């Protein structure tokens, strides 16, 4: 089925132009902005070369709509300033380089293409999530793709993706353990479809035989009409055992599932019962981290980060003693792309016609959707987890003590004389908020969720004030029971697709590794003495420690600081002279309504609260809070022409 194009006609007609307005070819690798503010600083001495093999894979995962790249000047954003057009050019150069080297190069994506930035989420009426951004993804020719959980939260999104995007992969989009039901023709009984194909077998340009699967973790949050089979049950299916009987040169498995602490070992072990030594290359995703592990000496699993920050690289050599592996994590920017493609820097021959066309068309969509609309100008950077919560640069502090009191506590005129407090979860914030223009695109980036504000009215403050501690489980009569309850809650969240707690734990671990005086740190420093000599030129970025040997990051960085934040936060109570017996409105996000009701009933016996006591407080969602605040407080700060 052909795409129904939503790309503006004026943009489409521009065609495959060989030049693009806004590009200064004297700068070559500079991003397409007048001031070149997002060019990564530091020269090539900070970059590590890729190790090639007989078969190499470029991997993306969890793009979440970031096709226009990271557009802010504050670090680490310039490290990831390459857009989808730049990536298309990079892939073209790398495929040519692979052909010149006589090796096979495959391109793999592991799912979650939308939910997180304006180009996928800021669509006009009549579309669904990712409908237009998927068209840009399809312009890059992938060898293998698989489905993520974000493709499956809403049935209309899942069905649209299956009908419009999956056919563009020409049999290379796999949903090995995912089915979707749809009404039959002429209103007949529902028909169940595999979400793409179960598996695919193909031959590389170099003549190597590949058997591929596409596996989703045991996701329980899919919409009605969509089923996800537990991978542990999938490997017992007849089709699976039939698919793996024939021995290929390599099993290539894409999966929206972390390479560690999930069920990839189940899949590997099932294959190993039939083929004990056949190489297996696994490209995972979902937890947004850079990670690598080896399940045995004949296999490797790689996870390539998130948000078009990281391009994964896995290289394998076929030897008489079995395969050897190498991996890298490429910072997604034009400087690094050109370096790895063997081009000079600066260079005016990096951009391909396809890459320029993609960038031009994306900019056209962004203009048509008004994604650059400025709500106001942020006076400083606000960090999600780079500083402690009591720091004035903390985004959670800013949201709790300034934004929520300004735009939510005052948003119900019928309750304006009643004191209130607002409870939100820190997980409702997804990204840093950077200084400069706060745009419509930033609205989707910083807080892309659409949880509504509800409330319970007239709760005695002596009980209302205790809810936040109960939500954060600060107090418990049994520490063991509390830990067990938290573990169970985390498992349930993970099964429904929540991964922020995993990414946060990883960032904390990476920060500790990079800043401690351990032997591992000293070993890492010795790996690249030339870059260590230029420590003063390092910028903030990922400093990755995984389970695979050698240095993974292609760029030497200073580690991003990390500070923990509580799961839930509460704004200051409004009103004056509020005492323990003063009744207040308790405002909260809709998804914790059951928790709030349960906590209130546990705190007192005077009244039995139910969900019937919960009502809508206003018409807003958590996604609206920063535009509202920016229009009220930042609108007169003056537009910043150097910020996007």
73 is a domain residue: yes
175 and 311 together in one domain: yes
293 and 430 together in one domain: no
Q: What is the CATH number of the domain that holds 71?
A: 3.60.21.10
364 and 383 together in one domain: no
436 is a domain residue: yes
| Contact (Cβ atoms closer than 8 angstroms) between residue 174 and residue 138 | no
493 is a domain residue: no
Burial of 549 (0-12, 13-18, 19+ CB in 10 A): exposed
Q: Give me the mean pLDDT over the 219-244 stretch.
A: 98
CA pair distance 524, 532, nearest whole angstrom: 10
* DSSP letter for each residue of 152-221: SSSHHHHHHIIIIIGGGGTT-EE-TTEEEEEPPGGG-S-EEEESSBSEEEEE-TTS-EEEEEEEE-----
Question: What's the domain count of the chain?
Answer: 3
Query: Dihedral of CA 256/258/261/263: which sign?
Result: positive
Least confident of 40-44, 279-283, 536-540, 611-615: 40-44
414 and 343 together in one domain: no
Least confident of 213-217, 341-345, 538-542, 640-644: 640-644
At residue 143, φ and ψ (nearest 5 deg) are: -90, -25
Q: Is the pLDDT of residue 597 over 50?
A: yes
Report the pLDDT value the prediction gives residue 42, as an integer from 0 to 100: 65
Q: Give me the mean pLDDT over the 466-487 stretch.
A: 66
Report the pLDDT value the prediction gives residue 637, as an integer from 0 to 100: 78
Q: What is the CATH number of the domain that holds 464?
A: 3.90.780.10
| Contact (Cβ atoms closer than 8 angstroms) between residue 456 and residue 421 | no
343 and 266 together in one domain: yes
Least confident of 104-113, 131-140, 633-642: 633-642
478 is a domain residue: no
422 and 353 together in one domain: no
271 and 383 together in one domain: no
More confident residue, 250 or 520: 250
Q: Give me the mean pLDDT over the 248-265 stretch.
A: 97
Q: Give me the mean pLDDT over the 171-184 stretch.
A: 96
92 and 217 together in one domain: yes
More confident residue, 123 or 22: 123
359 and 405 together in one domain: no
490 is a domain residue: no
Which of 353, 368, 383 is where one domain is finished? Answer: 368
Beta strands 583-589 and 420-425, pairing class: parallel
Q: Give me the mean pLDDT over the 416-443 stretch.
A: 96
**pLDDT tier at 477, thresholds 50, 70, 90:** very low
CA pair distance 622, 69, nearest whole angstrom: 24
261 is a domain residue: yes
* DSSP letter for each residue of 297-308: TTEEEEEE-STT
pLDDT tens-digit readout, 66-113 = 999 999 999 999 999 999 999 999 999 999 999 999 999 999 999 999
> Counting every residue, how long is the chain?
644
pLDDT tens-digit readout, 478-533 = 444 454 555 777 788 888 898 988 999 999 898 888 877 554 455 555 555 544 55
pLDDT tens-digit readout, 392-427 = 999 999 999 999 999 999 999 999 999 999 999 999
Domain that holds residue 542: 501-559
Report the pLDDT value the prediction gives residue 12, as an integer from 0 to 100: 44
356 is a domain residue: yes
Which of 324, 341, 368 is where one domain is finished? Answer: 368
Q: Smallest Cα–Cα separation from 146: which of 222, 198, 193, 105?
A: 198
pLDDT tens-digit readout, 576-591 = 999 999 999 999 999 9
120 and 205 together in one domain: yes
554 and 583 together in one domain: no
Which of 349, 368, 387 is where one domain is finished? Answer: 368
SS (H, E, C) 445-512: HHCCCCCEEEEEEEEEHHHHCCHHHHHCCCCCCCHHHHHHHHHHHHHHHHHCCCCHHHHHHHHHHHHH
170 and 312 together in one domain: yes
Q: What mean pLDDT is reported for the chain?
A: 89
**pLDDT tier at 19, thresholds 50, 70, 90:** very low
**β-pair partners for 252:** 212, 281
* DSSP letter for each residue of 88-110: HHHHHHHHHHHHHHT-EEEEEE-
């Amino acid at each position: 089925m052909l795409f129904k194009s939503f790309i503006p006609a004026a943009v489409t007609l521009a065609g495959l132009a060989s030049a693009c307005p806004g590009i200064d070819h004297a700068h070559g690798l500079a991003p397409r902005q007048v001031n070149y503010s997002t060019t990564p600083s530091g020269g090539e001495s900070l970059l590590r070369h890729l190790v090639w093999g007989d078969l190499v894979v470029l991997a993306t995962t969890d793009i979440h709509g970031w096709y226009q790249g990271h557009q802010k000047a504050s670090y680490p954003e310039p490290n990831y300033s390459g857009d989808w057009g730049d990536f298309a050019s990079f892939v073209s150069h790398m495929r040519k380089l692979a052909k010149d080297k006589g090796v096979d190069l495959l391109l793999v994506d592991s799912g979650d293409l939308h939910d997180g930035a304006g180009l996928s989420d800021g669509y006009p009426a009549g579309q669904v999530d990712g409908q237009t951004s998927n068209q840009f993804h399809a312009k890059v020719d992938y060898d293998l793709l698989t489905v993520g959980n974000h493709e499956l939260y809403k049935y209309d999104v899942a069905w649209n993706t299956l009908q419009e995007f999956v056919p563009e992969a020409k049999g290379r989009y796999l949903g090995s353990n995912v089915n979707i039901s749809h009404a039959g023709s002429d209103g007949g009984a529902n028909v169940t479809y595999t979400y793409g194909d179960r598996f695919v077998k193909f031959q590389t340009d170099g003549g190597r035989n590949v058997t591929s699967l596409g596996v989703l973790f045991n996701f329980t949050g899919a919409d009605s009409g969509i089923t996800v089979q537990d991978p542990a049950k999938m490997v017992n299916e007849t089709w699976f055992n039939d698919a793996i009987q024939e021995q290929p040169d390599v099993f290539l498995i894409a999966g929206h599932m972390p390479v560690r602490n999930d069920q990839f070992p189940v899949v590997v072990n099932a294959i190993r019962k039939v083929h004990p030594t056949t190489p297996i290359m696994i490209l995972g995703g979902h937890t947004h981290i850079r990670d690598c592990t080896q399940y045995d000496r004949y296999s490797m699993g790689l996870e390539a980060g998130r948000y078009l920050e990281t391009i994964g690289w896995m290289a394998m050599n076929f030897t008489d003693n079995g395969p050897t592996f190498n991996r890298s994590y490429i910072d997604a920017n034009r400087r690094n792309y050109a370096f790895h493609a063997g081009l000079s820097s600066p260079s005016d021959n990096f951009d391909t016609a396809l890459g320029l066309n993609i960038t031009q068309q994306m900019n056209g969509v962004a203009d048509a959707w008004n994604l650059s609309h400025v709500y106001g100008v942020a006076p400083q950077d606000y960090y999600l987890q780079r500083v402690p919560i009591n720091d004035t640069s903390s985004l959670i502090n800013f949201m709790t003590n300034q934004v929520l009191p300004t735009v939510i506590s005052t948003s119900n005129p019928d309750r304006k004389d009643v004191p209130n407090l607002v409870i939100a979860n820190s997980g409702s914030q997804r990204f840093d908020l950077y200084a400069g223009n706060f745009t419509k695109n930033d609205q989707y980036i910083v807080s892309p969720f659409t949880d509504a504000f509800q409330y319970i009215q007239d709760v005695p403050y002596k009980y209302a004030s205790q809810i936040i501690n109960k939500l954060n489980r600060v107090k418990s009569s049994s520490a063991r029971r509390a830990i067990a309850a938290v573990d169970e809650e985390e498992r349930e969240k993970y099964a429904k697709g929540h991964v922020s707690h995993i990414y946060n734990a990883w960032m904390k671990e990476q920060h500790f590794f990079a800043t401690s005086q351990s032997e591992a740190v000293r070993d890492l420093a010795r790996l690249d003495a030339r870059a260590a000599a230029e420590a003063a030129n390092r910028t903030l970025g990922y400093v990755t420690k995984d389970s695979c040997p050698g240095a993974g990051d292609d760029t030497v960085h200073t580690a991003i600081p990390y500070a923990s934040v509580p799961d839930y936060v509460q704004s200051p109570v409004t009103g004056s002279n509020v005492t323990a017996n003063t009744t207040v409105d308790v405002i909260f996000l809709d998804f914790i309504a059951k928790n709030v009701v349960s906590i209130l009933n546990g705190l007192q016996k005077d009244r039995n609260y139910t969900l019937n006591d919960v009502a809508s407080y206003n018409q807003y969602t958590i996604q609206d809070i920063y535009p509202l605040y920016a229009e009220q407080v930042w609108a007169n700060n003056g537009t910043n022409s150097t910020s996007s």
